[in-house]
Structure formats: C-alpha cells, structure tokens
Amino acid sequence: MASSTEVRERILSMFEGSGRRVGSGAVPEAGPHRKKSIGALSELGIAASPELLAYCAAAEEKTVREAVSGLVASGEWNVHPVRPLRSVLFHASPSHTVSFLAGLEPIAEDPDSGAVLAASWAIGEETSAVVSFLFDDVSPADAEPGDFVVEGASILAFLEAGVASEDGSAARPKASSAACVALQRRYRETIWIAQLVYDRELWTCEDAVDDVVRAARDARPLTCFARDLDSLGERPDLAAGWLLAHAVAGRAGELATTIARTETSVHPAVMELRKKLTPKKSGTPRIDALLGEHCSHLDADELAAIREAVRGAGAPEASRRGRRRAIR
C-alpha cells in the first residue's frame, strides 16, 4: 500500500491534472477546539487500513486538503484534518458520534446541509471505503433510504472518480454489494445511541422520543453479541456500542461480560465507558444517572420505550408489534 508521501503526491497530481480550482468549502486548520482530540488512529488501538492512515498523515498539510476540496464532486465540502473521537459520552455532534460507533472517520462536512463525508476504518483491509450521510435523514416509508451512500470503494478511487465525473457516481459500488450493505447496516444500528449521547450543549438534532424508538428497533441484535465478543479488544466501535446498548437495555450480565472483555482496550472512549458504566456496589445501574443528567427531555416512560425497542431489536415483526401495543 502507498505511503503517506505517495498518497499526498497522487492527490496533488490528480488535482493539478484536473484543471479544477480549490473548492468553495473551507479548509480549516487544526484550531484550538480540535487540539484536544489530536491522536493517530493506531495510537488509539484502531488498526485502520494503511490507506486511511496514509490519508490522515497527508491531510495534515493544507495544500492536500485544498486539493481534496477541489476533487470532491460538489467542491463545497469543508475538508479538515482528521481528528479521531476520544469520548463518545455527550462530547460530539450526532454525526461524529455515529461515525465512531459505525467504525467511520469523518474527513469532510457540508456546512449547509450538515452531511458528512467519512472513510471506513476497514480494520484488517488495505483500503477504506468512502461514504456520505446526513444524520438519520430518512423516512420509514422510504423503500430505499438515500441518507447513507457508499461513494467509493477506496479513498483514492473516490477522488479519482471526482475528476472523471461531475457527481462522482463513477466510483460508487453497487448498493447491493456485501460491503455496502454491511456499512449501511452498521450505521443504522448505532443511530439510536448517537441520538442519546451526543453533546446537546453545542449541537441539536430532531430526536423526539418516537424518532429514537424507531431507530432503536434497528439496534444491533443481541444474537450478534456472541459473534462480536472476540473482536471487542480490537474494535472500539463495537466495544462502545455494546457497552452502551447493554447498559441502556438493562442487560447486567452482558454488560459485565463486555466490561471484562474490554479490560485491555487503550481507546479513551472505551476506557471512559467502562469506568462510568460499571455498576455501583449497590448494583444500581449508572446509565440511569447519566441519562437523567443529559437527557432530561426524556421521561421515565419514554426511556422505558427506548429500552424495550433495544431489547426487541432483531425479533420477528409480529413480536415487535406486540411490544409496541403493550407500550402504548
């Protein structure tokens, strides 16, 4: 796989050969508000693809980010240095929170729509797919939700397609491909968590209880937990997702197992969750206090409805309808 220097040269060469100008979006520096999050993915225990690691290093240079802003089809994205999330509890925007939980790293944002361009961590793979999404902007009536799109099979393929076609669609893999389906599924499985734990002091999103309950019905089914156990140490996204899901659903045994299995995790977000979600000696769940403090807009009945939806995720539709009737 290409080094950061080679990735840098390829991006600059593509841009120079395209005849395009620097995009109209901003190319922000790593300002004071970002410095707290500086840290290489590998230092956080994320064995991301060599392509993503190389891109992260190259994107520290402003001229590279300017080139990327010109290569991205619309030319209106804010292309920023990659700054991995270090805390998932009431710390970041809904989009950045769901990105972390879905194993994605944001590389650019559209300041007008709020859409995010992100690259997958692609742990164990050579390259990282690029996706775009607008946080939970989907109607349950949509036959094919269009709020999450896999834009390219790799970062460089995505940028090359931006040169080849005005809308960049030439790079898009088939939406039905296994990789695309897996990325979208992981994104949808974690929307409900982001709706609960994003930073409400700095960001807002439409997170009425009905929206959260709807999203929670897509939570990762408990049947996947046993399959994920061996990956929790190397997958901070899965570790954080299961810690929060078990805590919210009140699954004390599974929460204890996840805390034990993530003991060696070096990711700050996982370490923070283990500390704050470990039950008190009295056995009282700590998630109740956290949600009470940060989600005061949700009453006890609404939180109960969310818990029920998480517990029922993956159950047959008839069973879920029965649970919904009981909640009402």
The string of pLDDT tens digits covering residues 13-39 is 998 887 777 776 767 665 444 444 445
Look at 11 and 19; give whichever has higher pLDDT: 11
pLDDT at 24: 66
Q: Tell me the C-alpha distance between 82 and 105, whole Å.
A: 7
Q: Is 47 helix (H, G, I), strand (E, B) or coil?
A: coil
CB atoms within 10 A of CB 126: 12
Q: Tell me the C-alpha distance between 303 and 282, whole Å.
A: 22
pLDDT in tens, 66-102: 999 888 866 578 999 999 999 999 999 999 999 999 9
Q: Tell me the C-alpha distance between 111 and 25, whole Å.
A: 8
pLDDT at residue 322 is higher than 70: no
Confidence category of residue 50, pLDDT binned at 50, 70, 90:
very high
**Cβ neighbours of residue 117 closer than 8 Å, sequence gap 6 or more:** 72, 77, 106, 107, 108, 109, 110, 130, 131, 132, 151
Mean pLDDT across the stretch 154-167?
Answer: 78
Q: Tell me the C-alpha distance between 89 and 82, whole Å.
A: 20
Task: Report the predicted TM-score, pTM, of the whole model to 2 decimal places.
Answer: 0.88
Burial of 5 (0-12, 13-18, 19+ CB in 10 A): exposed
Torsion of CA 56, 150, 75, 7, to 10 degrees: 30
pLDDT at 282: 66
Q: Tell me the C-alpha distance between 242 and 26, whole Å.
A: 36
CA 19 to chain centre: 33
User: Which amino acid is it at 26?
Assistant: A
Q: Where are the alpha helices (DSSP H) in 137-250?
A: 155-164, 178-197, 209-216, 225-228, 236-249
Torsion of CA 139, 142, 147, 149, to 10 degrees: 160
132-141 contact pairs (CB < 8 A, 24+): 133/95, 133/187, 135/94, 135/95, 135/98, 135/191, 135/194, 135/205, 136/94, 136/191, 136/195, 136/205, 136/206, 136/211, 136/215, 140/214
CB atoms within 10 A of CB 111: 11
pLDDT at 141: 46
**Cβ neighbours of residue 293 closer than 8 Å, sequence gap 6 or more:** none
Burial of 196 (0-12, 13-18, 19+ CB in 10 A): buried
pLDDT at 314: 79
**Cβ neighbours of residue 118 closer than 8 Å, sequence gap 6 or more:** 99, 104, 105, 106, 107, 130, 131, 132, 133
pLDDT at residue 207 is higher than 70: no
- Here the tokens at position 197 are 């734990």
Q: Tell me the C-alpha distance between 172 and 210, whole Å.
A: 33
pLDDT in tens, 208-261: 788 899 999 999 999 999 999 999 999 999 999 999 999 999 999 999 999 999
Confidence category of residue 321, pLDDT binned at 50, 70, 90:
very low
